[in-house]
Structure 1
């Protein structure tokens, strides 16, 4: 009977070839999709683990792997697939398929531009009581001299990537197809790196992940950094330091408010002043305050400079959709 690895290994070596010799056995619910030989699935076709991508000549070109987390057992399947696809030496792009769906991206139109290496992290855990040690760690947990139990887990981090793809958008009641560049990456300034997928602004054509991050900076931020100023960022909000005094800000904006949302986004600032033309100034601390009952902040607090200097707030360059929402998506850490 074929094992999980047998099926994954044969798929990695054969998928996409003419008359591919794939293992059709269903062992541990790792299976080749009965509807598309280019897909390998976990526990049914609802969760695609990997898809072999072909070039314009129909030859095997690169791998598209699903970065979503589903279950402990599916994570094990994903680990096997990463290992076996990696042995083929073909490029491997890992991105959460749930984000691709939300972005309405056609997976078969994706063209990788730059793919950074994935990484792995060892996480050490402690518990004071044996009952607090999870069952999966019973075989590896060890008792320390201080009476605590210690065990380790391993965290996989997706490599950042830049790709071009077509997506569907609704305009004036009709569905149209557009093409854009997308950045799949983690916000590394968070305590726990925060995954996001975003569309880059129209006209941007970066050649690397680094250039893609630069493309997300609005002109005001780039000018300030060129002048040697340090800008603050929280999520999609940038704070650019100014030389304005409180009296000058009061003349520009007749009303100052405390703790209100800024730029029609899920962020607040300690003290905010908005001019008649919509220019927003703030000082103090940026806080993430997402709408909806029970939603927790996804970004840590960010002090703006010395907290006394007034900053001009500007949004990043991610385009807006037909509803006025940013074309950026997050899984809140729910990625493999």
Structure 2
């Protein structure tokens, strides 16, 4: 597949810079992938499309406050993004404005008042520009970041210096069912759900099941290769428990549909069902879902609108058909839907 087939026209003003006033007040574009029909609804109407016996699969990863600010001892400003642990005491991070930083240098991590919080040793620069640093503390990275960090919003959402209301982003760039810390980007399809919606679906007879996939920064990496098959897909850690697998299999066997909330849930389920049947497993997935790939377990998905030339757009195109997806995206632009992480949602069934 040519990567240029993943391009579409999007006015910049349709890229959502903040969440909807209320989670469930987002708009919902409903695509019937069999006949290509489109319905314009609100996310609060999601229950109209779900049936007794269906199983909604949620990704319960919790987003770390992974963005932070720092400075050199010279006073030069730095900006970091925590990517993960690198051994017992070291962090693996991306570090902006770090061209002059030298291995062995001490950098100063700043709190949200932009005051020095602690020192860290800049240990080693990797070939991709990332760094290993060692903060001068025995506390877990999650605890430190909770004190100094900001929501790791994607580059297309502007928050200079962390923004005017960082607590709003730390709350709203997180699902209401987030539980297991480890993501550096949100599973954004889940952001539209409220406790009330989940409760009403449960009362209706819709099952819910939880999987975990820790979304990595690679999810935003654009495809630069001219052929999609030449793109190196990012890897992400996932876990599907025995209980969850059994619950999802039971729903499927009893005639219910498996409705994945987000491409992250899709990726987890299809990785775990690669042999044709869903089985408990965990590890790192590099599953690359592109048009032509067979889906073994997912019957429907709830998802946001994805970036042009992205692997996530290829995934939804594989599920619904690229022609239907591109028609739906054109409709969404014409109807002024809000796009990307803080934007509106789609239901594809």
TM-score computed with the length of structure 1 as normaliser: 0.30
Q: Which has the higher strand share?
A: 1
Q: Which has the higher helix share?
A: 2
TM-score computed with the length of structure 2 as normaliser: 0.29
Instruction: Tell which structure's C-alpha radius of gyration is larger.
Output: 1
